[in-house]
Amino acid sequence: MKLKVASKILDANERIAQDNKKAFEGAGLYVVNLMSSPGAGKTSLLENTIKGLAGKSMVGVIEGDITGTDDAVRIERLEVPVVQINTGGACHLDANMINSVLNDLPLAELDLLFIENVGNLVCPAEFKVGEDIKVMILSITEGHDKPLKYPLMFQESSALIINKIDLKPFLDVDVAKIRKDALSLNPSIKIFEVSCKTGEGIDAWIEWLIQTSNS
Amino acid sequence: MKLKVASKILDANERIAQDNKKAFEGAGLYVVNLMSSPGAGKTSLLENTIKGLAGKSMVGVIEGDITGTDDAVRIERLEVPVVQINTGGACHLDANMINSVLNDLPLAELDLLFIENVGNLVCPAEFKVGEDIKVMILSITEGHDKPLKYPLMFQESSALIINKIDLKPFLDVDVAKIRKDALSLNPSIKIFEVSCKTGEGIDAWIEWLIQTSNS
């Protein structure tokens, strides 16, 4: 009798993601896959995080977008190495896309690599790219119903960054419900409330990130 | 010589979308495929639109979500027929999903059918479902870089509804740039600035919708 188990580990994306992870580990690099809806503030969080890590960690960035180089241009101003991937229509980054740019970054010189995924609250959570952790951003303007409507990303993420908290006085949004529902989906998810505009909460996120990447 | 043209019309989704369209036309029904990022305000716009159309048009709704029935419950309160589709992970509605619920709505009694797609600024624009027009919503909180970063949905939509305009004083967002870039991608797109919270701009959208659906 022959038994064939269609194990996830044999899946092509999973295999390439493991190759990427080995390359990152070989370079002593901690990798964060950053995901959110369009316009939730991934690039703004990266800008704040890179500034906060200046002098502490060598940071590199891979930018994923359907088209264009807007985000890479923003990151380049902070004088860190950045590579832009254009997915050409695909709504998420996959492991092969990341594999194809590994030689375009000075991996051995870096401590932290951020992979900014395509803006999409669904598919990016399904595709590993070789990261150590997934981190997601939710803008409070998206409403408090998002965890239960888009559960996978909340389940897959190690941290949830609730952004644009400065807009809270002008919205009918129940941040406590976001916290409660996210924790019901993923009891170990670490939650930060931040404003990339005012800087509120950014320090706590960076402190956690440094601890997590060193542990 | 045999020539095989891999025409889009033979694509399975396209064929089923055409079947749906025939069923809708046979019932004298005008169909709007409503698309946006998560939390941009699709359901809130529908609530406002259904209230505005009361006594003028018989409205039905198909709700598309990965999981859950939150949106269908909101629509049901307005006493219009509604069917909830759960895509079970798929990041968009396709023609076959719509086809499978055609018998669950009183099509012949309706004038207007809204299909609220899954919250996603990418994939829904690629899949026809049998609609007459696509309409997209962009929340101004998503930022003014969205048209050039997610061009397909702007190109495919007949109308762009810029929502949450009441938050403009609290954001660094250039609405004129959104308009300019959307029009550069799609010169015939009709643009409305609305607030589903204050009601601003809703009347102009409803008036256009009535005219468009009757022409």
Tell me how far apart the alpha carbons of residues B18 and B24 are, in angstroms, rounded to a whole number: 10
In percent, the amount of chain B with pLDDT more than 90 equals 93
Instruction: Characterize the bridge pairing of strands A190-193 and A159-163.
Output: parallel
> Interior CA angle at B172 toward A140 and B154, to 5°?
80
- Over chain A, what is the mean pLDDT? 94
What token pair was written down for B136? Answer: 């997209």
Q: In the predicted model, is pLDDT for residue A204 greater than 70?
A: yes
Mean pLDDT of B186-215: 97
Tell me how far apart the alpha carbons of residues A141 and A138 are, in angstroms, rounded to a whole number: 8
Q: If pLDDT is split at 50, 70 and 90, which confidence band does A215 have?
A: confident
Which residues of chain B have a CB within 8 Å of the CB of A89? 122, 126, 152
List CB contacts of A196: < 8 A, sequence separation 6 or more.
A41, A44, A45, A47, A48, A163, A164, A202
Answer yes or no: do B38 and A150 touch at CB < 8 A. yes
Answer yes or no: do B91 and A146 touch at CB < 8 A. no
Answer yes or no: do A120 and B120 touch at CB < 8 A. yes
Tell me how far apart the alpha carbons of residues B205 and A192 are, in angstroms, rounded to a whole number: 38
Nearest chain A alpha carbon to B167: A170
Per-residue pLDDT at B158: 98
Mean pLDDT of A169-196: 98
3-state secondary structure of B83: strand
Pick the CATH number of B2-214 from 3.90.420.10, 2.40.160.210, 3.40.50.300, 3.40.1410.10: 3.40.50.300
Answer yes or no: do B67 and A120 touch at CB < 8 A. no
How buried is residue B133: exposed, middle or buried, by Cβ count under 10 Å (0-12/13-18/19+)? middle
Mean pLDDT of A117-132: 96
In percent, the amount of chain A with pLDDT more than 70 equals 95
Q: If pLDDT is split at 50, 70 and 90, which confidence band does B9 have?
A: very low
Return the amino acid letter for A111.
Answer: D
What is the signed CA dihedral for A206, A207, A211, A213, rounded to 10 degrees? 10
Which residues of chain A have a CB within 8 Å of the CB of B35? none
Mean pLDDT of B62-90: 94
Per-residue pLDDT at B5: 53
Reported as a single tens digit per residue, the pLDDT across B24-64 is: 999 999 999 999 999 999 999 999 999 999 999 999 999 99
Reported as a single tens digit per residue, the pLDDT across B155-170 is: 999 999 999 999 999 9
Nearest chain A alpha carbon to B42: A142
Of B38, B70, B164, the CB nearest to A37: B38
In this prediction the ipTM stands at 0.91
Task: Name every residue in A having a CB less than 8 A away from some CB of B.
Answer: 37-39, 65-68, 70, 89, 91, 118-123, 126, 139, 141-143, 145-146, 148-152, 164, 166-167, 170-172, 197
Q: In the predicted model, is pLDDT for residue B93 greater than 90?
A: yes
Per-residue pLDDT at B8: 54
Which residues of chain B have a CB within 8 Å of the CB of A141? 39, 139, 141, 164, 167
Of A66, A143, A166, the CB nearest to B149: A66
Chain A nearest CA to B25, separation (Å): 31
Which residues of chain B have a CB within 8 Å of the CB of A91? 91, 120, 122-123
Per-residue pLDDT at B77: 97
Per-residue pLDDT at B89: 86
Q: In the predicted model, is pLDDT for residue A158 greater than 60?
A: yes
Domains of chain A by residue range = 2-214
Per-residue pLDDT at A164: 98
Per-residue pLDDT at A8: 55
Of A122, A149, A164, the CB nearest to B70: A149
Per-residue pLDDT at A1: 56
Answer yes or no: do A141 and B166 touch at CB < 8 A. no
- Over chain B, what is the mean pLDDT? 94
Chain B nearest CA to A38, separation (Å): 6
Q: In the predicted model, is pLDDT for residue A9 greater than 50?
A: no
Per-residue pLDDT at A89: 86
Reported as a single tens digit per residue, the pLDDT across A64-115 is: 999 999 999 999 999 999 999 999 889 999 999 999 999 999 999 999 999 9
Tell me how far apart the alpha carbons of residues A53 and A107 are, in angstroms, rounded to a whole number: 17
Nearest chain A alpha carbon to B119: A121
pTM for this one?
0.93
What token pair was written down for A19? Answer: 């190759």
Over the range B45-81, which residues count as b (16 or more CB within 10 Å of their CB) and which as e? bbbbbbebbeeebbbbbbbbbbebeebbebbeeeebb
Q: In the predicted model, is pLDDT for residue B3 greater than 90?
A: no
Which residues of chain B have a CB within 8 Å of the CB of A172? 197
Q: Are B125 and B146 in contact (CB under 8 A)?
A: no
Mean pLDDT of B196-208: 98
Mean pLDDT of A151-168: 98
Q: Are A123 and B92 in contact (CB under 8 A)?
A: no
Which residues of chain B have a CB within 8 Å of the CB of A151? 66-67
3-state secondary structure of B141: helix
Per-residue pLDDT at B61: 97
Chain A nearest CA to B56, separation (Å): 30
Of A120, A145, A167, the CB nearest to B167: A167
Answer yes or no: do B70 and A172 touch at CB < 8 A. no
